[in-house]
Chain A
Amino acid sequence: MAKKPIEFEVPKLTEYTEVPAVTPDTMAHSSPYVSKVEFQEPLGYPGELVDGWQDKAIGAMGEMLGKYRSLQVFLDSCVKCGACTDKCHYYLGTSDPKNMPVARQDLLRKVYRRYFTFAGKYFPKLVGAVDLDKEVLDDWYSYFHQCSQCRRCSVFCPYGIDTAEISMAAREIMDRIGLGQKYCNEIINKVFKIGNNLGLPENALADTLEGLEEDVEDETGVAVKYPLDKKGADILLVTPSADFFAEPHVDGLIGYGKVFHEAGADWTLSSKASEAANFGMFIGSYENMRRISLRIREAALELGVKRIIFGECGHAWRVAYSFLNTLAGPFDFLDPKYPVPQHILEFTWGEIQKGTLNIDKSRNDDMVLTFHDSCNVARASRMGDEPGGQFTIPRNVIKAVCNNFVDMAPDTIHEKTFCCGGGGGLLTDDLMELRVKGAKPRMDALSTVIEDHGVTHMAAICAICKAQFTKVLPFYGMGMDMIQSVHGLVSNAIILTGQVDDDDEEDAEDAA
């Protein structure tokens, strides 16, 4: 029963993203498909909207207020200063006021006030408190699925109020009363059943990797290995399953393999932990996030590895860097010389500094690159030893393998980066209008560097960003192949030990 695709107007790009005038309800119709019984129950949630859902939702909210300081403090502390109102890409792209971070929080806050605060119980009108009814629930479902949990708002809020925390809590409350989102919950089911988001079984995975090995050998003449479930390897690589075949993700995977090969590292992928993504975070479920994370611990133990390294993915890196030690630690069985986990860029940058990689930057001369900081990497994690390493290390690597690099406008990169528009569990076709409109601020900044600096490609380090841009760029009249994996660039520039290129061969023939 497919919904009719919604007709919508693609926003016109501007040199700088302008703040639109408030236009209520422009996105009131946008909401993702509701989850089904079979996707709900394995996650520990009721199959469909339960009887007495109001009371149960309030009960769930009360319980979570006692478990999450963020929720309690954020719901109490907002002063409605408005500083965040023009910071969300979804507001900037849709002009729907409920997409202003504070207004999104208020959807939950007004119910919190009504049931949990003195002022809301006795003077609801005065403080904008309301009863939880169907209309409010519909708004929750719609607008808490118009937040990509990108945390841009939290950078600018004087109290650090992070709307992502509120959206996660709201989604968890909805799940607990049986109102889940199909996209996320179906995917989590696949991870539990098969091991990855794409539902790629072990043998298919093995075939894919074999195919990659053949491709790389054909192209370079070097037998680079992409091992799976290799017991006793030093390094377990956990990467988003999109890296196994989606474009441009797979170029990244090829790149990781080449770097490991040249570094002489003994590494493996795991069929059990064949997915770095952790959609448990998107639905705000500690329990599910933990269950998904534990696969990685188990895989590391079974394979007997010494280190864990994550491939290019934004939210996965957040869960890995910020939460893995909490959810699945302690990792005292791994080699204490290395942080757990590491990012593939930390590894590659280390090898570049050591000089183990033979790099020919001119192999990327057909491109002028810019770099999209992924939200979760930028605002919810780190790389290296210094705060801000998440900005410098990817750029250092790009600059080490490319001659032409230009950054986008300063208020659209680093901690102020704009979301791709598809993060936070919204990368689904039933939210296409939202995804296109939410990408506008990023597209504005990109088109400006295209015009001013002749940028031809944009590199990213997130599976969701890559998939989202591939889909959305054409709506704005740009080519879907503009988007590159950072390790795809690395892969282009590396000259493997013993590599024979087709054109080298030709040159050799010409000389003869």
Chain B
Amino acid sequence: MSFLTVTFAALFYVATAIFLIGVVRKIVIFAKTPAPLKIPTTPAPTTKTGVVLRMFREVAFFESLFKSTKWTWLFGWVFHMALFAVLFRHLRYFMDPVPAIVEWVSPLIEYLAFAMIIGLLGLWARRLLVDRVRYISAPSDHLMLLLLLLIGISGASMTFVAHTDIIAVKEFFRGLLTFSWGSMPNLPADPFLIVHLALVALLLIIFPISKLLHAPGVFFSPTRNQVDNPREQRHIAPWAQKLEDRS
């Protein structure tokens, strides 16, 4: 096995471990921290089903963002949806056999890579051009966009500019996934591929320590996930209950 292959194999194991452990740890923290008071932003649903629907509208359509700023909504929504589609298409590089549905939609969503890039460029333009958004941006906010853009561009380049030996890449990842390192081919030393994979690994590593935590965070947001029923049902956190037991 080439040095490159070994390095990337190790990198992906480490990055995936950091990602999984980091995100699970954070989710456990979010879940375990009590919400002592009912604070849904009202008008809020009065039933659990209503809350599930509200959350669905929020993550599928970015309802609140839509109310707020149409441009940010447009670029943000296009970027995220294209990203999900592109990620879905990536299943063909990890699954054997490739499910029919993935095979079938792949050519349809190929071009969404461009939508993703356009979305990111739009978001960055806003960050640079709107004085208010510029003011609140830290270096990490710009770098995050750069990282995602480079991942998108390097990936799209392999589809549209310079193909890589995708069969070898797939076998490499199948080997990683099944822990069968013996049969793993060498990773092609194509620049686009190397950049793409290195940055994806970096993204996995910083995910749990960055604002990317908004992904699990939104599901735990008390202003969005609470039922508006404080008069009907008494809501009390364990630490607040202790105050009562004391007095």
**Distance from B21 Cβ to chain A, minimum over Cβ atoms (Å):** 13
Q: Which residue of A lies closest to B133 (CB)?
A: A82
A322 to B72 Cα, complex, angstroms: 32
The answer to whether B64 and A158 have CB atoms under 8 Å apart is yes
A-B contact pairs, 9 of them (CB 8 A): A67-B34, A67-B237, A69-B34, A73-B217, A80-B137, A155-B41, A157-B64, A160-B41, A160-B218
Shortest Cβ distance from B235 into A: residue: A326
Chain B, residues 213-247, CB within 8 Å of chain A (1/0): the string is 11001101111100010111111110110010000
Residue of A nearest to B139 (CB): A126
In the complex, per-residue mask of A434-467: 1 if CB is within 8 Å of any chain B CB, else 0:
0000000000000000000000000000000000
Chain A 128-169: CB-based contact to B (< 8 A → 1; otherwise 0): 100000000000000000000001001111111110010000
Query: Which residues B184-235 have CB closer than 8 A to chain A?
Result: 206, 209-211, 213-214, 217-218, 220-224, 228, 230-235
Find residues 2-38 in chain A having any chain B CB closer than 8 Å to their own CB: 19, 21-22
Closest A residue by C-beta to B215: A77
From known contacts A157-B64, A388-B43, infer whether A97 and B132 are also in contact, taking CB-CB under 8 Å: yes
Residues of A within 8 A of B126 (CB): 82
How long is the Cα–Cα vector from A76 to B221 in the complex, in angstroms?
Answer: 11
Bitwise interface map of A from 32 to 62 toward B, beta carbon under 8 Å scored 1, else 0: 0000000000000000000000000000000
State which of B6-14, B25-33, B92-100, B172-180 sits at the interface with chain A: B25-33
| Contact B136 A82, beta carbon cutoff 8 Å | yes
Whether, in the assembled complex, B49 has its beta carbon less than 8 Å from a beta carbon of chain A, the answer is: no
Report chain A residues within 8 Å CB of B139: 125-128
Q: In the complex, are the beta carbons of B33 and A159 less than 8 A apart?
A: no
Is there an interface contact between A70 and B223, defined as CB atoms closer than 8 Å? yes
Which of B26, B64, B136, B213 is within 8 Å of A156, CB to CB? B64
Indicate if B62 sits at the interface (CB-CB under 8 A): yes
* A340 CA / B234 CA spacing, docked (Å): 11
In the complex, chain A residues whose CB is within 8 Å of the CB of B133: 80-82, 85
Query: Is there an interface contact between A154 and B214, defined as CB atoms closer than 8 Å?
Result: no
Most buried by A among B30, B43, B45, B206: B43
Is B135 a contact partner of A100 (Cβ separation < 8 A)?
yes
Q: Identify which of B33, B42, B135, B141 contacts A380 (C-beta below 8 A).
A: B42
CB of A395 within 8 A of chain B? no
Report Cα–Cα, A455/B73, bound state, in Å. Answer: 36
Count A interface residues, CB 8 Å.
74
**Residue numbers in A under 8 Å from B44 (CB-CB):** 382, 387
Nearest residue in A to B211 (C-beta to C-beta)?
Answer: A79
A330 vs B231: C-alpha distance when bound (angstroms): 10
| Bound Cα distance A13, B52 (Å) | 42
Q: Which of A254-300 contact B (CB under 8 A)?
A: 286-287, 290
Q: Is B171 an interface residue (CB 8 A)?
A: no
Nearest B residue to A83 via CB reads B68
Q: Report which of B46, B123, B211, B221 forms a contact with A160, defined as CB distance below 8 A.
A: B221
Closest to A120 in B: B209
7 tightest A-B CB contacts, nearest first: A77-B217, A128-B138, A160-B223, A82-B133, A156-B68, A387-B43, A85-B132
* A126-B140 CB under 8 A given contacts A81-B72, A103-B135, A160-B223: yes
- In the assembled complex, which residues on chain A have CB atoms less than 8 Å from the CB atom of B231? 321, 325, 339-341
Would you call B65 an interface residue if the criterion is a C-beta within 8 Å of the partner chain's C-beta atoms?
A: yes
Per the bound structure, the CA–CA distance linking A78 and B37 in Å amounts to 21
Interface residue A378 (Cβ < 8 Å from any Cβ of B) = yes
* Complexed CA–CA distance, A377 and B137 (Å): 33
Q: Is the pair B29, A82 in contact by a Cβ cutoff of 8 Å?
A: no
Cα separation A74 to B131 with both chains bound (whole Å) = 23
Contact mask for chain A residues 111-133; partner B; CB cutoff 8 A; 1 contact, 0 none: 00000011100010111100000
Q: How far is the CB of A418 from chain B (nearest CB, A)?
A: 15
* Residues 368-385 of A contacting B (Cβ, < 8 Å): 378-382, 385
The answer to the question of A102 belonging to the interface, with a C-beta cut-off of 8 Å to chain B, is: yes
Contacts of A161 in B (CB 8 A): 221, 223
Contacts A81-B133, A160-B218 aside, 20 further interface pairs with beta carbons under 8 A come to A72-B30, A73-B33, A82-B130, A83-B64, A97-B135, A103-B136, A118-B209, A126-B139, A128-B139, A156-B65, A158-B68, A158-B76, A159-B224, A326-B236, A341-B231, A380-B39, A382-B42, A391-B43, A415-B41, A415-B42
Q: Do B221 and A381 touch (CB < 8 A)?
A: no
* Among B123, B206, B231, residue most surrounded by chain A Cβ atoms (within 10 Å): B231
Residue A329 at the B interface, CB < 8 A? yes
A325 adjacent to B230 (CB under 8 Å):
yes
Q: Is the CB of A79 within 8 A of B43?
A: no
How distant is A285 from chain B, measured CB to nearest CB, in Å?
12
Contacts of B62 in A (CB 8 A): 158
Residues of B within 8 A of A382 (CB): 42-44, 228
Does any Cβ of A come within 8 Å of B38's Cβ? yes
Determine how close the nearest CB of chain A comes to the CB of B70; give it in whole angstroms. Answer: 10
- A287 in complex: contacting residue of B206, B223, B243, CB < 8 Å: B243
- Given A159-B217, A329-B234, residue A82 in contact with residue B69 (CB < 8 A): yes
A65 within 8 A of B: yes
Q: Is the CB of A126 within 8 A of B138?
A: yes
Which partner residue on chain A sits nearest B236 by CB separation? A326
Which one, A102, A119, A125, A378, contacts B210 given CB within 8 A? A119
A81 to B76, Cβ gap below 8 A? yes
B58 near A: Cβ within 8 Å? yes
> Which residue of chain B lies nearest to A386 when distances are taken between CB atoms in the complex?
B46
Q: Min CB distance, B228 to chain A, in Å?
A: 6
Known: A70-B35, A100-B136. A83 touches B41 (CB 8 A): no
